[in-house]
């Protein structure tokens, strides 16, 4: 079980982003008192789901119209070794 700040570190996101995922139903969590706890497996599934973590639409093409590489996927690959 992970807290919101621990989960945020794992997926390299802001804790408020993780809280939004919980509120929107994208990420399951249990609430104990005022704190949410997240199963590691649920977080792993969400972080692997490409639809859950899309790149912004304006990142898909350069201003010239030429397609850009998937920067989000590249960044995620570079962070896996940490």
Q: Per-residue pLDDT averaged across 6-25, rounded?
A: 91
Q: How confident is the model at residue 13 (pLDDT cuts 50, 70, 90)?
A: confident
- The domains of the chain are located at 1-49, 55-82
Q: How confident is the model at residue 11 (pLDDT cuts 50, 70, 90)?
A: confident
- Dump pLDDT digits (tens) for 19-57: 999 999 989 999 999 999 999 988 888 777 655 556 577
- DSSP for 11-75, please give it: HT--HHHHHHHHHHTSS--EEETTEEEE-HHHHHHHHH-TTTSPPPGGGSB-TTSPBPP-HHHHH
Higher pLDDT, 62 or 48: 62
pTM given for the model: 0.59
| Amino acid 81: pLDDT | 66
């Amino acid at each position: 079980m992970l807290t919101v700040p621990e989960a945020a570190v794992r997926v390299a996101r802001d804790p408020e982003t993780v809280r939004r995922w919980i509120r929107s139903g994208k990420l399951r969590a249990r609430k104990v008192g005022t704190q949410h706890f997240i199963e590691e497996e649920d977080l792993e599934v969400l972080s692997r789901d490409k639809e859950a973590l899309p790149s912004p639409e304006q990142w898909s093409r350069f201003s010239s119209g030429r397609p850009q590489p998937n920067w989000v996927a590249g960044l995620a690959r570079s962070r896996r070794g940490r």
